[in-house]
Structure 1
Amino acid sequence: MTGIRRHPGLAAALMAGLAACGGPGSIVVDNANIIDGTGAVWPTGRLVVVDGLVTCVGAPADCAGPGGVEVLDADGFWIVPGLIDVKEAAEVPSNEQAAYLAFLLGVTTAAVPEIPEGPEGEPLPPTGSDDARIPAPRPATPVEEPPYPLGLFGLALAATIPLDASGPPGREPRDLQLFARSRATLADREALMDSARAMGARGAAFAPRLLEQERWAAPYRLPHGMNRLVEFAMVTERIQDRLLPDRTPAEAERLGAALEVLREFVREFHAAGGSVSTATNGALAPGLALHEEMDALVAAGLTAEDALYAATREAARHLGLDDSRGTLEPGKLGDFLILESDPRLDISLTQTVSRVGKGGVLYDPPTLFDALLDNPGNRVSDNPVRLLIGGAALLLTLLLFARGVRRHRRSLGPRIVP
């Protein structure tokens, strides 16, 4: 595969330009394999973004780029829409550092429930921005879900098992949690799948959070071959089983059986025409959870392409944002990823993020990490106190894995085409 060749000094100039940029960007990405999210694929296609919005996607002959705009030759690379997290957990407040890390792994929109106050009663800082000059996901408001555990699945489950909020009598909170997570094994399987098919046929939307149930059923292990930026343990926040109760072999077996019920529900729901989208609970390293959720959807029986759509087109529909994002079409936001490989072959290849585009402004993750190391927190906030605290925390984390990041850097870089 041909690399994106680096123009001498361009990366530094680009980062300096981003800080001084007064508005959304304009860019032409040429010779890429473009998966636009609508079902179309453009081999050696062209993506044109002007003033932050997509103006054309397709064959180069049909997409004239404006004069004087940077042209990136992405021969051999793949372009997909930016990833969308339908909902992160309300009990896991995000922070600015986590928002940056999620963005650099391709999450360009994240719906985080509003948490008005922090532990000390102080307002929590924003964890996203629509400003293309800030490398953080765009914020979105989560949609209301059915008032049942596990959302739409819980609603269907309640039709075959009476909802018992107290769980088994005389049990500890730990046992109640395990009971709630394994209740699916008590359901009438055929009736439950009939509900899945009926809901899917009506075109309902469902964000199953399969990864969360997988973690309950078995210990989580960091995958091999992931993006090097999150390969190091110090980048992870709440990983493995630290927030989950110990499980006996019998309990783990029941939780595994419940996971299989949920997987079948997702499979039947999707096959009937239901909209499946990605949502996480903030349990893994920022950004990693969304990639792992797509992998969990594939494990449930969706294709890699379906899983990619779940994190783009279907997630945008779920949030009511499909008029502005989720696909690469004229008039929509210029939020996209440049990947090293075709994610339809293996959904884990979504982790091979080479560039992240936000409103036409292009970010190189390793370069941005280097820039943050030189001046940590300079893009975090205008508040001096928050700058000091956030910068110190960010510097500590970044220093720990800076060596790994430098190993990750390849001879990639935008090339200006006259």
Structure 2
Amino acid sequence: MKLQGTMSVKNDELYIGGISCLELAKTYKTPLYVFDEQLARENCREYVKHFKVKEHRNRVAYAGKAFLPLHMCQLIKEEGLYLDVVSGGELYTAHKAQFPMENVLFHGNNKTIDEIKMGLELGVGRFVVDNYYELDLLEQFCKERGTSQAIYLRITPGIEAHTHDYIKTGQIDSKFGFTLTNGDLYECLASFHRYEHLQLVGLHAHIGSQIFDVEPFLDEVDIMMSLVKEIKETYGIQIREVDLGGGVGVYYTKNDQPKTIQQFCEAMIEKVEKSCQKLGINVPTLIVEPGRSIVANAGSTLYTVGSMKDIKDVRTYVSVDGGMTDNIRPSLYQARYECAIVNKMRTGDQKQVTIAGKCCESGDILITDVDIKGIETGDILIIASTGAYGYSMSSNYNKIPKAAVVSVQNGKSRVICKRQTLEELLALEVL
């Protein structure tokens, strides 16, 4: 297993943030999400530095869907990031964390009436609009309020990045945005004058997730900068802000070869400057929306090993006390991870096993056919790089309570999400 962030091995035992994983499991029980706060903050600072936030007034908007407890809202506020939310729940979380609403971008292809009204009442900085339905509702509510609202139009630029089909969003066949290649965007722009209470200040595109190649992003830059010029010349609308989305790939296994944050940002900035120079336009304010690449490697999950089933000449199943309820990605995306036994990091006989969850589903498999050292019932297993879409996509399937999240840094730990109790599990149910 590759060591990430503040992970270190002392006397064959794994530490994160200066704390023994065995001690974390003993103190907080398992399953347990462990959040390496130092690594998350370092990733934020890398984006701020290399995306030229201070020099060019560009913006890094953290994609909250990856992981958004109250503590994460506070962290990104302290690190000078904006926030990308996609629901009323995420927006309310930001509000309760006292995140500055003017620094919030509100996404979503089907915002409800209540969500739109909440966004307007709280003073969201930018609505990222996907369709006429939302345009019409925003216009109606702003007219009633006697206010105006700054918006971005989300477009689908027709770029197909090499990633899982479920997380492609930039290609033509997508539920998101106004399609560029079939003329939908241009029809919207031609009629935009009727939205008297909306200010079109920017464009947004997002081409997918877990993308390792820089080239698709550079293609996106060319398309977006050309649009800025075309929209000004044809419709008289000055696009001041361009949101290039997120989707930067991260390391999960040795088969992954991601670019660094610096490589990604510098390539994007350089391409924008060259493209704008060639087109003869001013460089707009740029926005990027990383989520996974900030928190994925900063999170790990600890489990206790339970039953072991050795099927001769087939495989050995090792079951843990969590599974698809705390990490749905292997079942949903066939996502791959690395793992280890936290007190057998360097020693022990290696054996190939399949890590299974405890849910009543044959598809509840966390890792298939992985080589691991000295695994036994009662061991503490760690699965690395679960910081993105682990906790945020967790569920109560099989009536399993949600796991706790503990933040570690400089030898100290604290709970940032409590473990759900059985009473809390039934809190919304009525006899």
TM-score w.r.t. the length of structure 2 is 0.26
Report the structure, 1 or 2, having the larger strand content: 2
Could you say which structure has the greater relative contact order, defined with CA pairs below 8 angstroms and 6 or more residues apart? 1
Report the structure, 1 or 2, having the larger helix content: 1
TM-score w.r.t. the length of structure 1 is 0.26
